[in-house]
Amino acid sequence: MTTTPDYTARGKSLYCFRVRLLFTVTESFTIPGRGIVLLPELRPVGEEKFNVGDRLKLRLPNGEEELVHIGGLELFKPTNGPCQLAVILLGKSKEEVPPRTEVWSVQVNLENPDGSSWE
């Protein structure tokens, strides 16, 4: 588990802990009206649970990072293979989440490291 703090999020400081690397995007596709589906599948470990609205951190191949919310969790069945649990992101395009993007689970503290809140 990585516990290195990151300070990110579109002009606001969030004190985030990257908990674990969930997967690295190999491909994605768009479901019109639903969002972008990221592959490979999400595989929870132990008692880990993920819900729509949970935050994830994307680390793009160029090093940029962004917090996003899970827009959907769907089971899908490839032609050859078992069912898979896929993450859907809303408001993103395939170009914004290219292959080799790392998807991390995060814990977010809504205070800055100095204890002040940004809300």
Looking at the structure of the chain, the number of domains it has is: 1
- Positive/negative CA dihedral, 117, 63, 23, 86: positive
Residue pLDDT, tens place only, 4-17: 444 444 444 445 56
The tens digit of pLDDT for each residue in 28-71 reads 999 888 899 999 888 888 888 899 999 999 999 999 999 999 99
Q: Is 73 contained in some domain?
A: yes
Residue 115 lies in a domain: no
pLDDT for the residue 119: 44
Cβ neighbours, 10 Å, residue 8: 17
Range of the domain at 93: 5-44+52-109
Q: Say how far apart CA 60 and CA 119 lie, in whole Å.
A: 27
Specify the range with the lowest mean pLDDT, choosing from 26-30, 64-68, 74-78, 88-92: 74-78
Q: Which residue do the tokens 């588990």 mark?
A: 1
Q: Which CATH number belongs to the domain containing residue 12 in this structure?
A: 2.40.30.10
Q: Is the peptide bond before 40 cis (omega within 30 degrees of 0)?
A: yes
pLDDT of residue 52: 94
Measured between alpha carbons, how far is 16 from 65 in angstroms, rounded to an integer? 11
